[in-house]
A and B are shown apart, each in its own frame.
Chain A
Amino acid sequence: MSSGGPIVVVLSGSAGAANSPGNFSGSKAVPVDPPDPKPAHESRVLAPKDGTELVMARQRLTDWCWDAVAVWAHNLLNPESPWTPDELATRVLQDEGQIGESDDCSKMLNRCNVPEALDVALKATGNLDQTLPGQYLTFSSIVAQIKAGYPVGARIAWFGGGAHFVAVDGYRDFGALGQQVHVQDPLRGPGLLDYNVFVSNYPPGGSWNDTYLMKVAKPAESRVATGLG
């Protein structure tokens, strides 16, 4: 069960303030409807035999947080058709015209080490349900997503420019003592953070700026169907 990675824990004692964090700008809290019941074809693996499978791997390259988050999410939601970081980066960067159609990131890592968008990567894996630019989720909406079995992607915008992608895959509700979210970070490993701290000053140095809701990729969208497998 142990992740073996770093755990981040924050206890706040910020009773009743879960939906009104301060100290950041540019984004707003939004509630979203609970996800629809999963279609019959969707196969979910919520608790693999080896829990370490669910720990997000450290990003392979300096600028590949988008790749690490999308690969982790896809392999969690669609374990029958896993992507590797190099394969997904190749696909995304080809589609975005950043490399040639015959280029392969596994053979040209330096050239492929570039920032990208998480929604583009999740669209490539078939796991993007909805992008919410300029918005972060209320704690109750995170609870609904997690209970339905879906992680939530988050873009952390650094206060002075630049950004980093992480995912929320769990929560702890202490009532009046505060609320925590479990965060998978491709640089710092898994961790628990106070919800208010996470949205306003993570890790510290940034705030939750954009949100990416996820879904299980349909067979037609999965990489098996693309012929890349």
Chain B
Amino acid sequence: MSIIRSTTPPAKASLAVARALQVFLQPDLKPQDERYVGPQPSLPDAASLGLDLTSIDVATVEQHGPLGVYTLHLNDLSGGGIRAAVPTGWGFLVGDPKQGIILCTVAQQPVTGAWRLTSAYYGEHANNVFTAKDKLKSLAQTQTRSYELRILVIPAIHVEAFWLFDRSPSATDLVAVYVDGQRYVVPAGNPPSAATFLCSVEPRLQLAAASARRHGT
């Protein structure tokens, strides 16, 4: 039996997601002006996510387990390894996986302290994250040890991963990557420890740190 735990976000964070989705998923919301270089993209609505627009509430958005989002920048890595990552918000997988999933992130505004929806990924990205999260339950390590599940983002090398945070005295955090550069990854086998993971990406981190002023990756 899996013993991966989600943590509880601030109530206002979940409420911000629920309220924003109630607005965004309205089929009648139309911009005053809208233009694209190419054809207009199609956007999700409540029905395409298996949701009832009138009943989207905190329970709806927390159904699949909220995830703390932590960001690790190059200048964070010199001290503390993965535990130097900074909390940057919360992630919510919302919807019916048989129909569609939307991955919402919220962040607290620095001045007002208000929680605000910062992104909502719909389509391939959200579905892949949901699938990857689901796979974690079947990993051997998660059968015998309790972990707090977090999202770890390392923007400079395009890595997103599940951070299995170990609160035990002999803490050994694990990292299960689900986005590695241009590839999606489904966690399988034994995810590496955080230390092993950081060693494995060190050459890429060094390359990113040495990148020239005009360059990008």
A residues with a Cβ closer than 8 A to B are: 1-12, 22-23, 46-48, 51, 53-54, 58-66, 76, 115-120, 133, 143, 146-147, 149-151, 155-156, 158-165, 169-175, 180, 182, 186-193, 197, 201, 203-206, 210
A68 CB to closest chain B CB (Å) equals 9
Residues of A within 8 Å of B116, CB to CB, are 12
Report the 9 A-B pairs with minimum CB-CB distance, sorted nearest first. A160-B73, A162-B156, A54-B38, A170-B36, A62-B181, A6-B125, A205-B155, A115-B215, A161-B74
Q: Is the CB of B75 within 8 A of A161?
A: yes
Known: A62-B204, A117-B214, A158-B155. A7 touches B44 (CB 8 A): yes
Residues of chain B in range 188-205 having any CB-CB distance to chain A below 8 Å: 204
B131 at the interface (CB under 8 A from A): no
Residues of chain B in range 25-49 having any CB-CB distance to chain A below 8 Å: 31-44
B109 closest partner in A (C-beta): A23
Q: Is the CB of B216 within 8 A of A160?
A: no
Q: Is the CB of A1 within 8 A of B217?
A: no
Q: Is the CB of B38 within 8 A of A46?
A: yes
Q: Is the CB of B117 within 8 A of A11?
A: yes
Known: A23-B110, A146-B35. A192 touches B217 (CB 8 A): no
Q: Is the interface of B mostly helix, strand, loop or mixed?
A: mixed
Known: A117-B212, A164-B155, A205-B155. A158 touches B73 (CB 8 A): yes
B residues with a Cβ closer than 8 A to A are: 20, 23-24, 31-44, 71, 73-76, 88-89, 105, 107, 110-111, 116-126, 153, 155-158, 179-182, 204, 207-209, 211-212, 214-217
Residues of B within 8 Å of A54, CB to CB, are 37-39
Residues of A within 8 Å of B119, CB to CB, are 8-10, 191, 193, 197, 203-204
Residues of B within 8 Å of A4, CB to CB, are 123-124
A26 CB to closest chain B CB (Å) equals 11
Known: A62-B181, A204-B89. A162 touches B123 (CB 8 A): no
A112 CB to closest chain B CB (Å) equals 13
Q: Measured between alpha carbons, how far is A175 from B31 in the docked complex, in Å?
A: 8
Q: List 7 A-B contacts (CB under 8 A).
A: A8-B120, A9-B122, A47-B39, A115-B215, A149-B37, A158-B74, A180-B31
B132 CB to closest chain A CB (Å) equals 14
Q: Measured between alpha carbons, how far is A185 from B117 in the docked complex, in Å?
A: 20
Residues of A within 8 Å of B38, CB to CB, are 46-48, 51, 53-54, 76, 169-170
B111 CB to closest chain A CB (Å) equals 8
A77 closest partner in B (C-beta): B37
Q: Measured between alpha carbons, how far is A143 from B14 in the docked complex, in Å?
A: 33
A11 CB to closest chain B CB (Å) equals 5
Residues of A within 8 Å of B39, CB to CB, are 1, 47-48, 51, 54
Residues of B within 8 Å of A76, CB to CB, are 37-38
- Which of B43, B89, B123, B155 lies in contact with A5, CB distance below 8 A? B123
Q: Measured between alpha carbons, how far is A143 from B158 in the docked complex, in Å?
A: 29
